[in-house]
Structure 1
Amino acid sequence: MTELPLAMRSSLVKGRKHSHNRNDATPSSEQTVPGCSCRSVSWMKSKSQRHVSRTEQQHELAANTRWGLTVWRIQVDNVTLHKKNNSITGTLHVATHHLIFAHYPPASADSPAPAKGRAKEIWITYPMIAYCVYRPMPAILRQDHAIRIRCRDFTFMAFHFSDEAQARGVYDSIKALTCGLGSFNKLYAFNYKSPEIEKAVNGWQIYDARKEYKRMGISPKGADRGWRLSNINSDYTYSPTYPALLVVPSSVSDNVLKHGKEYRSRYRIPALTYLHPVNNCSITRSSQPKCGMFQDKRNPQDERLVAAIFSTSRPVSGAGMPLLDADGQLFDPDMQQGTGSAESTPTSTESTSRQSSDKIYGAQQRNFIVDARPQVNAVANQASGMGSENMEFYKDATKEYLGIANIHSMRESLNKVFEAFAHTDYTDIGPNQDLLTKSKWLEYISLVLRGSSLVARQVGINHSHVLIHCSDGWDRTSQISALSQLCLDPYYRTLEGFIVLVEKDWVSFGHMFRHRSGYLSSDKWFEIENERVGGNRKADNSAAFGSKSGSGNAFENVLSSARGFFSKKNDSKESVDVNDVGDGAPAIPAPTSKSAKHTVTNVKETSPIFHQFLDATYQMLRQHPNRFEFNERFLRRLFYHLYSCQYGTFLWDSERDRVQEHAYDRTKSVWDYFLSRREMWLNEQYDPTVDDKVPGKERIILPDTTKVKWWHELFGRTDLEMNGTAHAPTASLPKEPRDPIVTGIETSEVSIGPAANGSSFAGQGASAFTNGAARLTAGLGSLSLGKTSSSAPASRAQSPQTKESLPPRTIDEKMVSAATNNEPDATNGRLSFSAFARDNAFRDT
């Protein structure tokens, strides 16, 4: 560790502990701060020194003053802060868990002398720092030395020092306290002491899985709705990343579950997350299956589980069934209108009665498996033994691919958004609209919303069951699952309901918060200008954030990763995804001892997945301002606490880790903060009335993806700066999507989607997966497989189309006719997927 200069060590002072919720108390009486060789000093109470913080986020500070604590504080006077073209001189404190800048308001015209009664403060928790640059200046230039900081909440600032030793000492201390901790146990959450206002609330108890499933109508003592509670994972040995309580079909025994788990990546079997209260249709979630290179691997227990899920619905009496037109086709008034809102159903009594008279009840249920990945990614994953369901064995369902990019694309997108705000620590100019456009951030948000809307339509309007998965079922799956439930259930749009939704689909079902958020930071996120010799700084900076340039050829990337897969022992069991060796899925940590030893952030595993979920929720709140009990400020503050590490809610990757590392005893829940200040987060426009017969008050709401906007409050900008006006929108707003949300469709009879080699859309009698496997086989044929490696059977080297185990599929002529609009395609008679998606119920409007 770097030792502080003598000038810095001499500035350790005794003083008061700031009255602030983010206090820097440590439990021990004497500690050594990483990067410092000196000891801490005791802080004694001094009433004359007490004052409060200035920011709106610190209303809880009144009851949070604690004195007589031993904390670190390095004080540097006469530091100039630059932020948005403003500069002010004050005192910088480098404390144990925060960087604190204190200053007095400048003198006004009426009062020439500055007021000394109350200082204003800016607090920065170290995990919030996304990038830090130290810029030393040659003495001959007589300019200040600067430390520029970029925060994850899009705050940009620069600190200027006249003394180089002080500047370098502060930089080294910030780096040591940010990425030099060496243990998650040193994060702020393990030292945070709740103020009195939060002690009356226990946020850890707000989510009770049994209570939530009972709300859905599932309980041991309740009526059998086709589902049961299973304790097969009560000790987390069955599936380490799944919750202890699983809900599965009543017709499936635990013995079936035991034999079916091996077929799913990470043992994340299809399990219920939501049951619709009216039509008994379900949303289940899982990980990808281990179908293998040729999709010839199958598991009867998994097939039985999925079939049981799709046969659980028994519609509630009087709830009605989907309408059919005279030709027996599904009638959806919302989709006929071509809008993105459930409120678009006809309001005229005459129109409604006329439509009803032409329709009949009794629609045949169509069930769906939604793979959130692009189809080609799923094909590529076959190289590592994964992939997607072979629909020959799941005949009661249709599979749809949503085409949502992986975590690496999302991380790169966010980096470009940050670049658009570069230099806003010194200037107040608006963001670079060209870079915002290139980031595709809003396009990705729109894509996630469209996928969620599709699932919500199928469950709430088309009365179908939906099984959702991506690769490992904890990133894109969590997004689509949670957002679709937000569309379907008014309860999740209340403050408590939204908290339960986050706890259930993100915390309990095992989103990798620790890996995706990078709480221990990385030394790659710290830079000293002019210290590098040669090299491409821009490329280095991109690498520092784990970004990847260029998509490349999917199969070339997978072949490259497959060579490594076959040439060496693969202990990590990572999922192979397009453009990267693995989908950012780390090896599952062993219990307590190993999990506590995560010391380095792998930047390639970081990604703003939960951030995107909050952004998508904001879009729905903005479009439906009276349908949510909570306000925008609640979402923005929740985003802050995702990275603040003040609470323990988001510090672990699974329910098992939280239990084994005693999170509930060692840390506080972030919901303590929100529920103890409930009034701050309430939406004044909220109308709790739910009446499906009244337009605008229906149970279901759907986002309009043509109206996706920048979350300007999160960026600290005005709506005009980020989004422009209705008549003059900014260039970075996405245009109306022309492509369908569904990028591929498979049933037991037909496979439609992009060919494995990236050519035009094609309808194929044989599965697109097996065609993709043929290309992979050709590439892998040149690999040198060791005698001890587990090679594929000799039969796999044959062309998949000639394998007797996979009978060729026949294309339903009626489906082909509908897909092509009875017009032959100009490209060798291939099936036009775009026409199929446009003219059938799979479309997203």
Structure 2
Amino acid sequence: MLSLGSGGGKTAKPSFVSYVSPEEIKKKEKEVNEELKPHLLPGELIICEANTVVKYSREDSLQRGFYGKLVCTNFKISFLSAEPLLDDVEQSYRNKLMGENDISLHCVDQIFGVYDEKKKPLLPGAIKNKIPEKLLLYCKDFRVFHFGLRYAKEEDARRLIRGIVHHCLNPTSLKCLFAFSYVGAAGGLKVGPVGIEEEPPTIMFETKTDWKVELDRTGGLLTYRIVSINENYKISTRFPEFFAVPSSVADDDIRKSKGKGIPLWCWSHSSGCALLKMAALPETADDSTSQMDKDWIDRMLQALRETHPLNHTVRTEILSATLPSLQEIQASYNRFKQLFLMDNTAEFWESDIKWLSAVENANWLEVIRQCLKKALDIVECLEHKNTSVVLVEENCSDLCCLIASLVQVIIDPHFRTISGFQSLIQKEWLMGCHCFLDRCNHLRSNDKEAPVFLLFLECVWQLLKQYPPAFEFTETYVTILSDSIYVPIFSTFLFNSPHQKDNNQMLGEDRRMLSRSLKLPTVWEWSVQFENSVQALFYNPLYIGKPKTDKGRRTQRIKDPALNYLEIVHENFLDIPEPQRQMSLPSSPSYHSRPSPKKGFLREETDNLIKTFLGKKISRWTFTAEDPSVNYRLFYENWCSKPIDHHGLLLPLHDGPALKVWGQRYLRWIPEAQILGGGPTTALNKACEIIDEIKTLQTKVSERLLKRQPSSPNTDVFAPFHQSRRLSLTFPFGTLRRQSIKPRIPVSTNLSMSFGSMENLPDDEEELSLL
């Protein structure tokens, strides 16, 4: 490890005579550099590189670092250390495609250069004369890399910076993305199973059979039909080849409108009502045309009413009128992400002083709250009012995908399993023609970027945090899924529509034949990225799966230990509080007390306390009886009065105090935010140990009762959790981050605060008065 000291003065003259010739020194450096070779994927080529680059250690306040080689390829930026890194001692999380010191080119968010301790953004063509002393890379997964270029050759450093800036920031074309080089060089990919166990396959919704299976599962096969009029994209390239519509909608209607203004089926309720979405007809200035469009929409809605035998009512929900626009979502997220891109320890503790106000001003949690609230409103129509809902949006590919998916996660337990959740994304996002290429800014155009899919994952994470036993997958699965967006290999997040995907995979005339020979992998082929030990982290050990046997067999816990051990742990061994369901603050006397009918979800005393001490800023998080937007209060209260059914409806808590910051995703690379040996991960670790112990004991009891020979011990399913020697709040990503020392920071408002040990506490009256 290099000790960099102040780094500002000149190097002292050596006091010894070297008997090693310059030729021998150069030979030694050449041998070291030849040993540092990056792991290249098929089709990956080295563009530029520089030796004697220093990777600064954030845990040591950027005063120490490791020297090595920095390489830029057509896929990633990779740092190769000449000495072992501390983080490589033990890692529970490893990616086959990239190491911890590898950065996908599409994951780079901002690039800065440091000139004389001043940070300046680097843009294409900006490096002309002087090269920066340091290179700072801000990533979309919230990693921050500091590279020192002072010891590298000037020409190599210049070429390296130009290459990184060009390949990370310059606009590019779709065919230049690494995915095509990767699959073309590999000659087709052969991947293993989706998970570590036999799982139901992910439904891709690319055939009529896939749609028929889902319609049959939800009971909508009698009232909706699958149309193939758009096969080979004859009608519109903004729609999939196959989709479902109400039975009374004719093919001629779809052909005339090219899919616009046609209610598309999403999901059917057992009562007969359904969730649908519709692409709005383009607005026109001509009054006669507008009247024709209105008559067309009325006719489509009437056809939808006639579809149901009980003549259900239909509600149209124009999402742009009640939810933030894409520009507002993007601006809010840009403000929010800046709170987690920390350069050093001092910057973290300075931001910690104003953390809550900064989170509120970013408005990202408010955007999440609005989406949860809108989903709850839609769920009430489907579940309580027996009303079909048609979600309307301009292109039916952004907010429609978000709200439709969120409603189905809330109301259908099938989509809380891993295979069901992946099928949901395929149905609503990929077949819904969400513009992943534009919204993720893979081509670096910047004019259409908006984190809509990430916003959906945020909402799902809030539900997962509120009702952990209801989800088969963990937050690690959701975090890894969010990271995979910026790996330019998988077709899942690489195109704007199925038509664009099929068209760009076609090298010859026979598209069907080519899709079988050279097909980009999907992100659901997890074995491309991870070994089984990492995939085991996707499964929630506290998940209470729905029994596949009859009720009579449920009572035979000893005879079938694999069936009920999770229920035993959850009911008798784990002291986990039931999720807060009444949207009350922690100061409320009981989670199960009914909310005051006069004050909405918050008790009157708590509401007065909020208004007294927190002011008007918190008012938007609370509700009153006069608020017309909370017409679902009675529906929510009735649900709250019943025990939680983890295989049934799960209504989200969407008030201010209930919403949390996604710590594993945003804080995993910040050592100061980690709780080594504590936090939810430690509690989960203990739960896994108890579960494994119960499984072992029940197996022994079952073998003795059935007089069978003892079976060989099986590998623990949850071993990745409790085999790690050092757990932290951000496990498995930050297991070995060292906690840095809390510095003493002078504050401009004459406020002296000590974040250090007890020895640094103020010891005089004057300093105490300032505190």
TM-score range, shorter chain: 0.5 to 0.7
Change (3 A) 1:722 1:416: farther
Deviations 1:782-839 (A, max 9, x none): xxxxxxxxxxxxxxxxxxxxxxxxxxxxxxxxxxxxxxxxxxxxxxxxxxxxxxxxxx
**In structure 1, what is the equivalent of residue 282 of structure 2?**
290
Change (3 A) 1:493 1:714: same
Inter-partner Cα distance in structure 2 for 1:223 and 1:82: 57
Q: TM-score, normalised by structure 2?
A: 0.58
Is the counterpart of residue 408 in structure 1 residue 327 in structure 2? yes
Is the counterpart of residue 185 in structure 1 residue 195 in structure 2? no
Deviation at 1:426, TM superposition (A): 6.0
Q: Which runs of 5+ in 2 are unaligned?
A: 1-29, 88-97, 119-129, 196-200, 507-514, 552-638, 676-771
Inter-partner Cα distance in structure 2 for 1:422 and 1:497: 34
Deviations 1:211-262 (A, max 9, x none): 443334459xx9962111111111213121111112112122211222344x
Change (3 A) 1:696 1:75: same
Bigger helix fraction: 2
Equivalent residue runs for 1:601-620 within 5 Å: 601=445, 603-620=446-463
- One of 279, 292, 307 as aligned partner of 1:312: 307
Q: TM-score, normalised by structure 1?
A: 0.53
Deviation at 1:621, TM superposition (A): 0.6
Is the counterpart of residue 368 in structure 1 residue 315 in structure 2? yes
Decide whether the 8 Å contact of 2:280 with 2:392 is kept in 1. yes
- One of 250, 261, 264 as aligned partner of 2:247: 250
Inter-partner Cα distance in structure 2 for 1:156 and 1:640: 15
Inter-partner Cα distance in structure 2 for 1:616 and 1:682: 19
Deviation at 1:494, TM superposition (A): 0.6
Is the counterpart of residue 654 in structure 1 residue 485 in structure 2? no
Change (3 A) 1:674 1:269: farther
Decide whether the 8 Å contact of 2:75 with 2:105 is kept in 1. yes
Inter-partner Cα distance in structure 2 for 1:235 and 1:107: 53
**In structure 2, what is the equivalent of residue 199 of structure 1?**
191
Letter of the 2:240 partner, please give it: P
Is the counterpart of residue 700 in structure 1 residue 649 in structure 2? yes
Letter of the 1:687 partner, please give it: I
Inter-partner Cα distance in structure 2 for 1:696 and 1:720: 38
Letter of the 1:283 partner, please give it: L
- One of 515, 537, 540 as aligned partner of 1:683: 540
Is the counterpart of residue 101 in structure 1 residue 44 in structure 2? no
Letter of the 1:156 partner, please give it: V
**In structure 2, what is the equivalent of residue 152 of structure 1?**
140
Decide whether the 8 Å contact of 1:147 with 1:167 is kept in 2. no
Is the counterpart of residue 672 in structure 1 residue 525 in structure 2? yes
Deviation at 1:694, TM superposition (A): 6.2
Deviations 1:298-349 (A, max 9, x none): 354443222222332347xxxxxxxxxxxxxxxxxxxxxxxxxxxxxxxxxx
Letter of the 2:55 partner, please give it: T
**In structure 2, what is the equivalent of residue 536 of structure 1?**
none
Decide whether the 8 Å contact of 2:438 with 2:496 is kept in 1. yes
Change (3 A) 1:426 1:79: farther
Is the counterpart of residue 231 in structure 1 residue 228 in structure 2? yes
Inter-partner Cα distance in structure 1 for 2:664 and 2:194: 29
Decide whether the 8 Å contact of 2:205 with 2:426 is kept in 1. no
Deviations 1:332-377 (A, max 9, x none): xxxxxxxxxxxxxxxxxxxxxxxxxxxxxxxx94421111112xxx
Deviation at 1:408, TM superposition (A): 0.8
CA RMSD of aligned residues (A): 3.8
Q: Which runs of 5+ in 1 are unaligned?
A: 1-9, 28-69, 109-118, 316-363, 375-402, 522-600, 725-845
Deviation at 1:136, TM superposition (A): 3.2
Deviations 1:433-468 (A, max 9, x none): 233221100000111111112112211232210000
Letter of the 2:43 partner, please give it: T
Q: Which SS does the other structure have where 1:617 is aligned?
A: helix
- One of 69, 85, 90 as aligned partner of 2:67: 90
Percent of aligned positions with the same letter in both sequences?
20
Decide whether the 8 Å contact of 1:225 with 1:313 is kept in 2. no
Decide whether the 8 Å contact of 2:471 with 2:543 is kept in 1. yes
Deviations 1:143-184 (A, max 9, x none): 971111111111122212115544433221101222347322
- One of 374, 379, 385 as aligned partner of 1:462: 385
Decide whether the 8 Å contact of 1:645 with 1:651 is kept in 2. yes
Decide whether the 8 Å contact of 1:145 with 1:160 is kept in 2. yes
Deviations 1:715-748 (A, max 9, x none): 1259998899xxxxxxxxxxxxxxxxxxxxxxxx
Inter-partner Cα distance in structure 1 for 2:471 and 2:399: 23
Inter-partner Cα distance in structure 2 for 1:192 and 1:305: 45
Change (3 A) 1:304 1:191: same
Deviation at 1:490, TM superposition (A): 1.0
Decide whether the 8 Å contact of 1:97 with 1:177 is kept in 2. no
**In structure 2, what is the equivalent of residue 421 of structure 1?**
340
Change (3 A) 1:660 1:645: same
**In structure 2, what is the equivalent of residue 215 of structure 1?**
213
Decide whether the 8 Å contact of 1:242 with 1:268 is kept in 2. no
Letter of the 2:277 partner, please give it: R
Is the counterpart of residue 127 in structure 1 residue 106 in structure 2? yes
**In structure 2, what is the equivalent of residue 79 of structure 1?**
54
Decide whether the 8 Å contact of 2:491 with 2:523 is kept in 1. yes
Deviation at 1:619, TM superposition (A): 0.5
Decide whether the 8 Å contact of 2:191 with 2:527 is kept in 1. no
Change (3 A) 1:653 1:11: farther
Decide whether the 8 Å contact of 1:13 with 1:73 is kept in 2. no
Letter of the 1:304 partner, please give it: R
Deviation at 1:507, TM superposition (A): 0.8
Deviates more, 1:192-201 or 1:89-98: 192-201
- One of 473, 487, 493 as aligned partner of 1:630: 473
Decide whether the 8 Å contact of 1:235 with 1:244 is kept in 2. yes
Q: How many aligned residue pairs are there?
A: 495
Decide whether the 8 Å contact of 2:202 with 2:419 is kept in 1. no
Deviations 1:40-79 (A, max 9, x none): xxxxxxxxxxxxxxxxxxxxxxxxxxxxxx6445242242
Decide whether the 8 Å contact of 2:492 with 2:522 is kept in 1. yes
**In structure 2, what is the equivalent of residue 361 of structure 1?**
none
Inter-partner Cα distance in structure 2 for 1:722 and 1:138: 26
Inter-partner Cα distance in structure 1 for 2:242 and 2:58: 49
